[in-house]
Amino acid sequence: MTEPQAARKNLRGDYRGAGSDYSVEQDWDNYTAAEHALYRRLFERQSKLVPRYACPEWIEAITRLDAASGIPEFEKISAKMKKATGWQIVAVPGLIPDDAFFTHLANRRFPVTVWLRKPEEFDYIVEPDVFHDFFGHVPLLFDRVYADHLYEYGKGGLKAMRLDAVKMLARLYWYTIEFGLMNTPVGVRAYGAGLLSSGGELAYCVDDPRPERLRFDLERIMRTDYQIDRYQDRYFVIDSFEQLMLETAPDFTPIYARIRSP
Ligand code: PHE
Ligand code: FE
C-alpha cells in the first residue's frame, strides 16, 4: 500500500465481494496474457535499475522470489515468506481503511492490490497496483528486522487510531516504508517501495542533487507533510533497519502530544 489511509474518494478497484477485512481472492487464473506481459515489462525495466539503486536487503531477497515471469501467485510467495519471517500476503481490491490496514500488519499480513495498471500508466501511477505492492514491498518482508518493524508499525497504527494520531504515523510510513533511503558501504540506496517500483524516481532519489537527504529524525518526519503526486522534495536516510527499529521502539504517546501542542 502506498499509505495507510483510504480517505480518498473514488478508489480504483472492485470492492464488491471483499470480506470485512477487505480481503479478496487473487483470482490468478483470470489475469490476461497482456497483463502478465505488461508486468514483465515493468519488472525488466526496474531490474536494470535495482543493482545500482536498491538496498542490499532488497537485492538479496528478490533472488529468492522467482517473480520475473509474470504476476506472481500470492499463495506461493506467502508459503515461502511464512517460513522466512512469518508474514503472508493478503489480496485486496486497492487502498483499504486504516483500521483494516493496521490490523493486517499487526497480524503479519501484507495487503497487496490485485489489479495491474494500464499500459498507458507504465511510467507513473498514483494509486498502488500489484506491481508497486509486490515489487516494492514484498521482497523486504523476507528481511527479519524489516519484517518485525512493520509488524510493530501495525500495532502502533491501531494505537495511533485510539490517540487520533494516524496522520503523524502515516508520515513515518511515507518517509520510511514508501520513500526511505539507507546509507550503505557503497553509498545511499533506496528501500522505500514507492522508490523501488518507480521508473524515474529510483535514480532521482539517489543521484539528483535537488532533493534534500536528511538524517532520519522521527519527530521531524512526523511534522513534515508530503506530496503524493510528484517526486519528493526530501528524503530521510537511515543507517540500517536496526536503527529504524530502535528509534521507533519508544512509546509515541508523548511525542504525539508534543507535536500537537504548538
Ligand atoms: N513505538 C510506537 C508507539 O508507541 C509504535 C511503533 C513501532 C510505530 C514501530 C511505528 C513503528 O506508538
Ligand atoms: Fe506502497
- pLDDT tens for each residue of 127-139: 999 999 999 999 9
Mean pLDDT of the chain: 94
Residues 165, 256 contacting (CB under 8 angstroms): yes
What spacing in Å lies between the alpha carbon of 109 and ligand 1's midpoint? 17
Ligand nearest to the CA of 169: 1
Establish whether residue 241 lines the binding site of ligand 1, counting it when its CB lies within 6 angstroms of any ligand atom.
no
The H or E element containing residue 109 is strand 109-113
Q: Is the pLDDT of residue 57 over 80?
A: yes
Establish whether residue 154 lines the binding site of ligand 1, counting it when its CB lies within 6 angstroms of any ligand atom.
no
How far apart CA 58 and CA 195 sit, in angstroms, is 12
Q: Is the pLDDT of residue 9 over 80?
A: no
Please name the amino acid found at residue 251: D
How far apart CA 67 and CA 60 sit, in angstroms, is 13
Residue 127 falls in the annotated catalytic set: no
How far apart CA 42 and CA 30 sit, in angstroms, is 19
DSSP 141-196: GGSHHHHHHHHHHHHHHHHHHHTT-HHHHHHHHIIIIIT-EEEETTEEEE--HHHH
Residue 212 falls in the annotated catalytic set: no
How far apart CA 119 and CA 110 sit, in angstroms, is 26
Which of 57, 78, 104, 137 is an active site residue?
A: 137
pTM, full prediction: 0.94
**What are 160-205's pLDDT values in tens digits?**
999 999 999 999 999 999 999 999 999 999 999 999 999 999 999 9
Establish whether residue 161 lines the binding site of ligand 1, counting it when its CB lies within 6 angstroms of any ligand atom.
no
Judging by DSSP bridges, how do beta strands 187-190 and 181-184 pair with one another? Answer: antiparallel
Which of 132, 149, 198, 201 is an active site residue?
A: 132
